[in-house]
Chain A
Amino acid sequence: MTWFVYAEESGGKASTISLEMLTKARGLGGDVAAFAVGTASESWFAALGAHGAATVHHLDPGDALPSAAAAAALGTLVGPGDTVLFGLTPNDRDVAGRFAARTGAAVLSNAIDIRVAGATITVVNEILGGTMLVETAFSGPGPHVIVARPKSFAAEPGAAATPAVRPVTVPDGGRSTSARIVARHSETSQGPSLADAAVIVSGGRGMGSAEKFRLVDDLARLLGAAVGATRAVVDSGWVPYSMQVGQTGKTVKPAVYVACGISGAMQHLVGMKDSATIIAINKDEEAPIFGIADLGIVGDVHQVLPKLIAALQAR
């Protein structure tokens, strides 16, 4: 049996989630192959190999929205005994859903761990805002699909190995493959990314307005931190979606997470509760965020943050 890992190219490099999944897959027994979608490069393929892919099946989708074509191509490679791993990201989810619908594969989503005992594959996921853990096993014939939450597994290179690269041609997919990408726009902020930052400063609805949200930016700049936000803030248009932390945004595990004006809705907590140290500032004494904060300040962010910024500037 083979573990296929969906591996998207992102800015010429391997997506972080693909390296996390390859690292996990190589410890599960069986062969490991990457299904690589993007513009070919030696360094990208080498990274996939170093993290565990013995074979790289490569598809270049051009300007097509790759989901339908990628799912069709993947369908020709994956056999009944195989399992495909995807990340819980927009592009991965598009291919995962289509692939499962094509092949009849059962899908277990939101995986934070994968276990294999004999022929049984079991997936662990969190429900109800991370308060309960559920173990679910595939019970039918394969192939199977697992959609994993980012940051569930550490990405670590293993023995350096050059993978066998096999080009995959774009299948003629008809109507479903007809969506086209006309233009691409990057909205990543200055400074470190949410994925890599040691410190993250996040703001919630309690910041009050897009204007006042700048206090979060100011503190982040002083700390060399990445800026995060809650879903409510993103939905209000104060900051772009690429900064959203939570169930439907990014999962982060920094050394320090500073939550400013964030009440701590389940949907947000799921994305940041595994941070090493959590600091929370919120007016509402009863806010759920205080239930997981190492240091909780019951106070007004518009009082506390300017003083904190001044104190750090004075150092």
Chain B
Amino acid sequence: MKIAVCVKQIPDPATPYALDPITHFVVRPAEQVLDDTDRYGIELGLQLAEASGGTVTLVSMSPVGNLQGIRQALAMGADKAVVVNDPALRGSGALVTARVLAAAIAREEADLVITGTESTDGYAGVVPQMIAELLDLPALTFARKVTLEGTTLKVERQTAGGYDEVEATLPALISVTSGAVEPRYPTFKGIMQAKQKPVDQPTAADLGLEPATVGAAGSGQVISEVRPAPERSGGVKIKDEGEAHLEIVKLLERAKVI
């Protein structure tokens, strides 16, 4: 079984993000990290591949920088990576991103596509569903538990008020939530091997996408203004010396909820 897992390199969330003053796009340093929420999809892909004797290919779209984030993902155990690396993709919206990833996945002839539910830096939250539509796949989204019996996928799918048990047969796409599986830590051996694993870096044109249909030009949207949100300031901060709960009671009274 061939499994494709979508991953993303993002600027380290522990550092402040900078916006380009002209384009308003997030400035992407050469050194990016693997989006932490992608570890769940990678882990699920590895588990399913191990159970079925399959392979795991990482698929990503980003300026490559030093590939640190992709190497982190390979270190967990994936076999190889395809990173679509093309300056023409700068400013791509959700749909262009999905078209690029779908084209890269189609080339790999994957039986199963695994994604997260949204990226930590962009969080449009619709790219997995777009990929499924573009590849004509059923999508079992927001999975919190996944089992594969033969070619039948069974998923517990989170809903606003609980969960549904949903099923589809391969080929299919799954988007996994954090907590669906327990991601493994890369071993020292895995980290060393990751440096030697193949990372294919096609351009958009290599995937058959016309330049006019990608990047900012192909995305049908333009940022007109960026400004700081009105700030909410903090109020009183007190150290609990044993009686601080009484301050909460007073505030609840003032708010007329008790």
Question: Could you tell me which A residues sit within 8 Å of B by CB distance?
Answer: 10-11, 15, 65, 67-68, 71, 88-91, 93-98, 100-102, 104-110, 122, 126, 128, 130-141, 144, 147, 174-188, 198-199, 223, 231, 234-237, 240-242, 247-248, 250, 255-256, 258, 273, 276-277, 279, 281, 285, 290-300, 303-305, 307-308, 311-312, 315
Contacts and interface: CB of A to CB of B under 8 A. Distances in A.
21 contacts: A90-B142, A94-B141, A96-B126, A98-B132, A98-B139, A100-B95, A105-B95, A132-B226, A132-B227, A134-B226, A136-B223, A176-B136, A181-B166, A182-B165, A184-B162, A186-B162, A248-B117, A255-B255, A279-B248, A295-B236, A304-B240
A185 B164 CA distance: 6
B130 A242 contact: no
A190 to B, nearest CB: 13
Contact of A242 (B19, B161, B237): B161
A242 B142 CA distance: 12
A296 B129 contact: no
Interface stretch (B49-57, B67-75, B186-194, B214-222): B214-222
Given A136-B222, A248-B118, A89 B248 contact: no
A182 B167 contact: yes
A8 to B, nearest CB: 9
Contact of A106 (B95, B131, B227, B238): B95
Nearest to B238: A297
Given A94-B141, A248-B123, A276-B255, 15 more contacts: A10-B161, A65-B139, A90-B157, A98-B129, A101-B95, A139-B220, A176-B132, A179-B168, A186-B161, A235-B178, A241-B144, A291-B233, A297-B238, A297-B247, A304-B240
A43 B134 CA distance: 36
Contact of B237 (A68, A91, A290): A290
Interface residues of B, number: 79
A42 B238 CA distance: 54
Interface in B204-220: 219-220
B130 to A, nearest CB: 4
Given A136-B224, A279-B248, A293-B237, A175 B179 contact: no
Interface string B148-160: 0000001001111
Contacts of B87: none
A138 B248 CA distance: 46
B229 A126 contact: yes
Interface of B: 17, 19, 24, 93-95, 98, 117-118, 123-134, 136-142, 144, 154, 157-169, 172, 177-179, 219-229, 232-240, 242, 244-249, 251-252, 255, 257-258
A299 B239 contact: yes
Contacts of A68: 132-133, 138-139
7 closest A-B pairs (Cβ-Cβ)?
A299-B240, A97-B129, A140-B220, A106-B220, A97-B126, A235-B179, A101-B133
Contact of A307 (B160, B225, B227, B245): B245
